[in-house]
Structure 1
Amino acid sequence: MPTLKNFLFAPLPMALAASPSLMRRGPKTDFGLYAYGEGIGGAQVFTTGEGAFVGSVSASNSTEAAPVLFDVGTGNALLGSPNATDTAPTWSNLTLSVPDATSSSHQVSFTNSTNNGTGVSSSGFVFYGQYLFHQADGALQSEWYVLPSGQDGIWTLNWNSTGDDTDGQVIVTLRAVGPSPDATSLVSDTAS
């Protein structure tokens, strides 16, 4: 039989989970994003200036490929700049965008502005601890998944707002914490 104590404190975890102050305890500036899922143990998010990818930047055949260093912008937008030391790509100050339910594409992208028109959402990114979510219609969503890109060790980063059931999907979480230095395998051999 429920007690008064159980009745009074049962909703507390729900209230704490929805508290904006708890959600903002993630990183504030200069952080990378890393994908974790089956066979993917902390592959870094990178871009060539348009699409978002995870995996080995050195395996990319694009001279514009570089890991992304993020800052939090207005409206909880994530602004990205290249984190490259050898050769700097020509892109900078791009905004992470996820496709919305009206988009025919599922790939996460980088754009030049937080005002992108229709088909994408470039604001509302929220951290719960170190995990990245997207907030839409008052709900936190984590609909990240990756697909093999066709290049070994590289996946396309996607957002599943419309129930995409493409074969080969690997559901991932995005975190602002990289893999531990003693991780034996950061990238699975299955991406091809």
Structure 2
Amino acid sequence: MNKESIAKAVFFDRDGVLNKDKHYLFRIADMEWIPGAREALAWLHTHGWKIIVVTNQSGVARGYYTEEDVHRLHDFMASEAEKAGGAIDDFFYCPHLKGAPVKAYDKDCSCRKPAPGMILQAMKKHRLLPAECFLIGDGARDVEAARRAGIQGFLFTSGRLDDFLQACLKQRNMGKEIHG
């Protein structure tokens, strides 16, 4: 396999990274992009990166909303990213929560971050190499999931996501890791 045929991917947590964290977001009307998020997605798309969202969605297990609600919001986000010149290639979400009131989702799974399951599933599905991937998340559980999956993790706390993305790319080019 030559260098040109190896896919590069950025994994994004959803709430607090791509969209403002509104505590169990599922309504399209409540969706608000983080400043610079659509621009970051457009830049990555035009530069040949795969864009994959990995998100814990325990609101399903808590009975606040359904998996259909999650899919509807993700379809909307993908459509809005396309309108801005970007893309979201795939979404992986974990609806599980140990001790959840909705018994169908009451489980200790390997996909809920900080477990690396969603990242590993995506890497297998999209035939990605760890060295060609990194994750941007807003919490320690995101960075830990990245570490466990063997990829770099970067902690986004505030500011414009497109500026933060460029700083992450610069760090990667210098061979420095800034995850736990």
TM-score under structure 2 normalisation?
A: 0.30
When Rg is computed on C-alpha atoms for both structures, the one with the higher figure is 1
- Give the number of the structure whose residues are more often helix, by fraction: 2
